Chain A
């Protein structure tokens, strides 16, 4: 089947980039065209999301073209589709892509190239979340590196060359392992497919079903670790996180939004889709065997990340480290896959999935507001700030909402995800969950201290001339605030879809 709908969504940004490259010269026009394209794509994605049939479940809106690589024996297909797991990720990507485009309207340096790379990046990420062929998934995963490298190194600040290179090297190292893992799976007797899921309507039997009971080329545990390495670097999980603060600090605002909001989620998505989805019935090794390792790494990430966050003096670096802590909650939720007495409650996995979406919107808003502060105060160094709320009340409110959401305030989206993770994991990993839950207290510490030092206190005369956010600045802010409040008050918007995907993922 080839409905074409998802292909349009995935390649619309790339097509827009092509139009800019070929036809548009005027900076203002480029800007509005790019924003228009991402907003249009967001509308299409919202329609897709609403159109997703929760009752039917399974993979929907399939775009399949079998002879994509006309090579005998290489059963790689062009296969796009969404299920309950990827649909909300698609929504998140659409939202943050539009936000990132809006947040870029102050860019004046090499505007055309900038938007071209930003749009290409969006295509790559959308591809990752919709590709259901492992090789295609990998290609999208890799393509994303090129625009990221360009965006950080050309439009970044500080040691942008170093940070961009560091980002690329780390991801490449991870994906080198992933490629070996993918090929080892494919080359195993009895697998012989790149399909990441089974789609009965198309007659596709995916890897999760095929690996059940069959012996793999190399031990399943080795393959699992090869794949896991890529995801752990991407999320990032302690101790592979050290590329993240550098990349964030030196990236332009919109790129930080994309990086924290969407790119890290590729790691979490891979962890769920691949590490959990494919390795529950493999011979000789099951993901349940290493659930303890996931739990331990998760708790270290949460606590260690939070503690290091407290020490940071650069606003962006601070938020970057807080992401290490918050992505730890995703992994902690995933670690509940081992279940109690052979029975898995989906709460932890659902919480993990929800945490990805909520962290995306919350951190997106945090980086967005830090960008607004930086545009005005021209510094992100916290000791130089203070008293900004007097001149920048709107930005202060936006940052406060994002901060409160980040520390897990009920009524905002972070809480629902975190409480689901804790409830789902406590039965499985009692003490580790208790330690991990302390991350919530630490989060309150670094967020409120950051607010105090940045926005509160007496007005500083140096900031006399600062102007608060204008209408255009507020459009993406309001969009993210609405989504944070909406999920916080009525989480079913997302959980009703996720739970379909998660229940299909858990095979035991």
Chain B
């Protein structure tokens, strides 16, 4: 049975309702029944997930987008804003991934956030976050999309700053919002430019049909603006700096931000406006270059980070770079396929890192070690996630990453080869940093956890951070392991949607590619479908190469952190400048925060304007005012110095004298 429009709306309305109930009913009036908040969120997401599956099967059996009408939201002459649902294959995949991953994260959080004084607030924000992302992917109108886009941004602000008494959390939240908003400014300009081409262009299906009628320059401007928004949300260079700091939020939040909601929104946005990018000049190439650069750039910072969540954060940026680079090369299928598999193993890895810190009380890997014996389940699941992320056969990450690399070779242009090389280098780094994490965390002997970290910080004269919750060295409860297990199964198996069916000869394209390209509005003919990479040929050379570099990365990590045959400290010392450059994040935080924001903007422009306002504008205004006041006083013939009397006198007096003039004089 085909899904009804109401049912699709429910997918967003249910978690939204859970936000409202948690926020304005349970939190203020039933703070003792906090478990209800968690279960309410889980229940609403479970139903939303079920409905998403229904939406997915409906699209699958309809072999293409399902049309629903539009509803007028606001209308004045010359401007009508409508809302509606765009349920195409891309949306249906995103709905399933977002609601599914979010559901797993919420179940995990029931245990992870237990005992937090703001447990209800957490679930309220999580509901809003998920609802915003679900609303974003189903939006039919670009303004509607922008609404949810911004709501995603604000929910992440609330969640990153969840522990707002920590100054670092409050700062990270603000940073995330501001940096992404800088990108959103570009997105906003794109919307304005689109609207100037006609009100109907705001409707995405109409835009698909009419994009060819817009002039090339304008389309390129629009595409660039949209991409600016995507760069902000997907933390691509140069707006990537907010994401590593965003780990200040509770770990389940990071799991959600990094996998299904928030950062994937940027990739989704480029995919959503794929026809606009195709119609534009040079923009696709630009997207590919930014993506390729980010893939390597971010991975390199992950090589040296000590914080397990920071490594994962750089990994996310790098993997999103993969998605962007292949989107820029036209590989729509590979990009979304990677988004799909990445959501599972990255959520798994973050939940795993949360599980680790649940036991040790820290995220700093220098104080971990030896956890393999203590938490065998977490260890196994983390290894699965890492193997998948490193792209080891036959896990999900292998298939999707390989498809990206293979597609890049097929685009037989310079830019294709640049992207391919970047992909291979990043693949090596990925394997290395992930297994560095595994050995530092689980291998060797336990190095003391939070207590050792606190001691080390005190030794340096610092103040150790607060530990959230009560760490106890041991395996995490089942409530946390079960969602990880589900995600691990997907991290292993999700890739089989790709190639095996091709080998069996069931269909002529791979299943995922077949499904996602059944959308004539975006892929107008067979040729376009082919261009998007719906039927990639399995490239043995590429597969062997990527496996070799991944293996080499793992082996190097083993030598440095497993067997310790190669001294990591020694290498850091020998290559001190490089190490410092990477460890200090290429000094980009310093550049942005110390120089551009603090010195140039705040110390220069803002200070000068403030001085100008006080010393010139205000002074001139006061002079002018006093002068006019004197004239006024003279007019009113009242010299008692009371301005309010003068004011009244002027009004009444002038009216009266004019009246008198009219009657007797005129």
Q: Which residues of A contact B (CB under 8 A)?
A: 69, 71-74, 135, 138-139, 142-143, 145-146, 149-150, 165-166, 168-170, 172-173, 175-176, 179, 183, 238-243, 304, 307-308, 310-311, 344-347, 350, 387, 389-390, 404, 409-411, 415-416, 419-420, 422-424, 426-427, 430, 433-434, 437-438, 440-441, 444-445, 448-449, 451-452, 455-459, 491-492, 495, 498-499, 502-503
Contacts and interface: CB of A to CB of B under 8 A. Distances in A.
B79 A307 contact: no
Contacts of A168: 643-644, 647
Nearest to A142: B651
A139 B648 CA distance: 9
Interface string B634-666: 010000000110111011001100110011001
B195 interface: yes
Interface stretch (B60-68, B95-103, B614-622): B614-622
Q: Which among A150, A166, A175 has the greatest number of chain B C-beta atoms within 10 A? A: A166
Contact of A146 (B73, B169, B648): B648
Contacts of A143: 651
A459 B170 CA distance: 13
A499 B74 CA distance: 11
Contact of A444 (B161, B181, B196, B644): B181
A74 B650 CA distance: 18
Contact of A437 (B189, B610, B628, B658): B189
Contact of B632 (A173, A308, A424): A173
For the complex, would chain A's binding face be called helix, strand, loop or mixed by DSSP majority?
helix
A144 to B, nearest CB: 10
For the complex, would chain B's binding face be called helix, strand, loop or mixed by DSSP majority?
helix
A485 to B, nearest CB: 10
A457 B605 contact: no
A459 B609 CA distance: 33
Contacts of B173: 448, 452
B74 A491 contact: yes
A419 B650 contact: no
B663 A491 contact: no
A242 B78 CA distance: 36
A138 B177 CA distance: 45
A169 B631 CA distance: 11
Given A170-B625, A239-B621, 16 more contacts: A69-B659, A138-B651, A142-B648, A145-B647, A146-B647, A166-B622, A170-B621, A176-B632, A183-B658, A242-B613, A344-B78, A430-B196, A441-B185, A448-B157, A452-B170, A495-B75
B182 interface: yes
A173 B648 contact: no
A433 B196 CA distance: 12
B607 A411 contact: no
B572 interface: no
Closest 9 CB pairs of A and B: A345-B78, A456-B170, A347-B79, A410-B147, A173-B628, A142-B651, A426-B192, A311-B610, A242-B618
B171 interface: yes
B629 interface: yes
B501 interface: no
B174 interface: yes
A73 B77 contact: no
A387 B166 CA distance: 9
Contacts of B663: 71-74
B188 interface: yes
B471 to A, nearest CB: 22
Interface residues of B, number: 72
B386 to A, nearest CB: 35
Interface in B171-188: 171, 173-174, 177-178, 181-182, 184-185, 188
A440 B164 CA distance: 24
A23 to B, nearest CB: 26
B76 interface: yes
Contacts of B188: 422, 437, 440
Given A73-B662, A242-B618, A437-B189, A308 B610 contact: yes
Interface of B: 73-79, 143, 146-148, 150-151, 154, 157, 161, 164-167, 169-171, 173-174, 177-178, 181-182, 184-185, 188-189, 191-193, 195-196, 602, 605-607, 609-610, 613, 617-618, 620-622, 624-626, 628-629, 631-632, 635, 643-644, 646-648, 650-651, 654-655, 658-659, 662-663, 666
A173 B151 contact: no
Contacts of A142: 647-648, 650-651
A435 to B, nearest CB: 11
Q: Which among A404, A420, A426 has the greatest number of chain B C-beta atoms within 10 A? A: A426
Contacts of A350: 76, 79
Contact of A307 (B154, B609, B632): B609
A498 B75 CA distance: 11
A179 B170 CA distance: 51
A418 to B, nearest CB: 9
B650 A176 contact: yes
Contact of B151 (A410, A444, A445): A410
Contacts of B622: 166, 242
Contact of A441 (B75, B78, B181): B181
Given A138-B651, A173-B632, A242-B617, A449 B174 contact: yes
Contact of A459 (B165, B602, B647): B165
A346 B77 contact: yes
A452 B174 contact: yes
Contacts of B617: 238-239, 241-242
B31 to A, nearest CB: 11
Contacts of A145: 644, 647-648
Given A166-B622, A173-B624, A456 B643 contact: no
Contacts of B195: 423, 426-427
A409 B177 CA distance: 11
24 contacts: A73-B666, A74-B662, A142-B648, A142-B650, A146-B647, A168-B644, A172-B647, A173-B629, A179-B651, A239-B620, A307-B606, A308-B610, A311-B602, A347-B76, A350-B79, A387-B165, A410-B146, A410-B151, A423-B79, A441-B178, A444-B178, A452-B173, A456-B161, A456-B170
Contacts of A448: 157, 173-174, 177-178
A456 B662 CA distance: 64
Given A448-B177, A457-B170, A499 B625 contact: no
A255 to B, nearest CB: 15
B147 A452 contact: no
Contact of B154 (A304, A310, A409, A445): A409
Given A242-B613, A449-B174, A458-B165, A415 B647 contact: no
Contacts of B150: 409-410, 415
Contacts of A387: 165
Contacts of B618: 242
A387 B163 CA distance: 11
A416 B74 contact: yes
Contacts of A445: 178
Nearest to A503: B77
Given A146-B647, A165-B643, A437-B192, A139 B655 contact: yes
B189 A499 contact: no
Contacts of A492: 73-75
A423 B628 contact: no
B628 A176 contact: yes
B658 A415 contact: no
A399 to B, nearest CB: 13
Nearest to B611: A311
Contacts of A426: 192-193, 195-196
Contacts of A455: 164
B629 A169 contact: yes
Contacts of A441: 178, 181-182, 184-185
Nearest to B466: A458
Contact of B73 (A73, A449, A491): A491
A146 B646 CA distance: 10
A416 B632 CA distance: 42
B72 to A, nearest CB: 8
Given A239-B617, A411-B147, A169 B626 contact: yes
